[in-house]
Amino acid sequence: MVAKIKVVVNGAYGKMGRTAVQGILTDPQLELVGAVGKTRGIGLDAGEAAGRAAVGVVIEDLLGECLQRVKPHVVVDFTNPAVVKDNIRTILQFGAHAVVGTTGLTGDDISPLQEWSREAGKNVLVAPNFALGAVLMLELARRTAPFFPSMEIIEAHNPFKADAPSGTAINTAEIMGAVREGESEDSDVLSCQEKIPGVRGGELGGIRIHSIRLPGFVAHQQIIFGGLGQTLTLRHDSISRESFIPGILLAVKKIAEIKGVTYGFENLLDL
């Protein structure tokens, strides 16, 4: 029989951490061996916290101590942009691969990860979006951007999301900016005067990004391409957090094979 992959979830009482726990508990190839939080949920059974039967894994509050004791193969991190870099360092120092769903890491944050990963001989996947549909949307955006002069992104999430714009929106703008033809045709450059500051959204590489934060949303994004006499809209909606589970499970199973630091779930797919 093939040995199970031992997994710890960091941020196990958060919305995404509980979703990850749910997925891990249903997969026969994976074993949940630890669960870590910060303040909420400490002392609770991770299975019960995720709405399932008790599994005998109690949510604890010190990542390093947990990792030293349970020695997982993989740690899944869904915590907070402010702490995720330290978490990755700890995960690598304790000899585990890191599957990082926490958003907010910038290009500057990624380079030290490469050194830590090399020193530890363990791998890191940073994936701002684990939803298959969202990753396909990025691929379609990459293919469409060279054909349109202008494009804008509208993303919507729940009001408790710690960062704006979303990691996926930044990733989308970077991908489209790298492949679009010629200079930016940001319409503001042409004529538009903002009567309310910020009403035209933020801007990254000449691409406008608009962030909506309202109750009821999970994770949504539209990319609208504008051309002569026509528009084209790509749209993806994660209507429940379950949309992220297949991607998280695939990443946990493949992380040992993808050497070094990888940015983007799409790199695990044969697109």
Ligand X SMILES: NC(=O)c1ccc[n+]([C@@H]2O[C@H](COP(=O)([O-])OP(=O)(O)OC[C@H]3O[C@@H](n4cnc5c(N)ncnc54)[C@H](OP(=O)(O)O)[C@@H]3O)[C@@H](O)[C@H]2O)c1
User: Does position 135 bind ligand X by CB under 6 A?
Assistant: no
Q: Give the type of residue at 206.
A: G
Distance CA 45, CA 27 (A): 18
Q: Give the type of residue at 224.
A: I
Nearest distance, CB of residue 158 and ligand X, angstroms: 8
| Per-residue tokens: 260 | 């070094």
User: Does position 72 bind ligand X by CB under 6 A?
Assistant: no
Q: Which of 6, 48, 81, 95 binds ligand X (CB under 6 A)?
A: 81
Nearer to ligand X, 80 or 184 (CB): 80
Residue partners of 177: CB distance under 8 A and separation at least 6: 204, 205, 206, 207
Spell out the SS3 assignment of 1-60: CCCCEEEEEECCCCHHHHHHHHHHHHCCCEEEEEEECCCCCCCCEHHHHCCCCCCCCEEE
User: Does position 11 bind ligand X by CB under 6 A?
Assistant: yes
Nearest distance, CB of residue 60 and ligand X, angstroms: 10
User: Does position 130 bind ligand X by CB under 6 A?
Assistant: yes
CB 208 within 8 A of CB 172: no
CB 147 within 8 A of CB 179: no
Nearest distance, CB of residue 18 and ligand X, angstroms: 8
Candidate segments 33-41, 142-150, 180-188, 192-200, binder of ligand X by CB under 6 A:
33-41
CB atoms within 10 A of CB 88: 25
Candidate segments 73-81, 192-200, 221-229, 252-260, binder of ligand X by CB under 6 A:
73-81
Residue, CB closest to ligand X:
14
Q: What is the CA radius of gyration of the chain?
A: 20
Candidate segments 21-29, 95-103, 147-155, 220-228, binder of ligand X by CB under 6 A:
95-103
Q: Which of 32, 35, 127, 169 binds ligand X (CB under 6 A)?
A: 127
User: Does position 10 bind ligand X by CB under 6 A?
Assistant: yes
User: Does position 148 bind ligand X by CB under 6 A?
Assistant: no
The residues that bridge with 5 in the sheet, in sequence order, are: 30
Q: Which of 7, 9, 22, 37 binds ligand X (CB under 6 A)?
A: 37
Distance CA 162, CA 197 (A): 22
| Per-residue tokens: 4 | 């199970």
Distance CA 200, CA 210 (A): 7
User: Does position 15 bind ligand X by CB under 6 A?
Assistant: yes
Residues that bind ligand X (CB under 6 A): 10-11, 13-17, 36-40, 63, 78-81, 83, 101-104, 127-130, 161-162, 219, 244
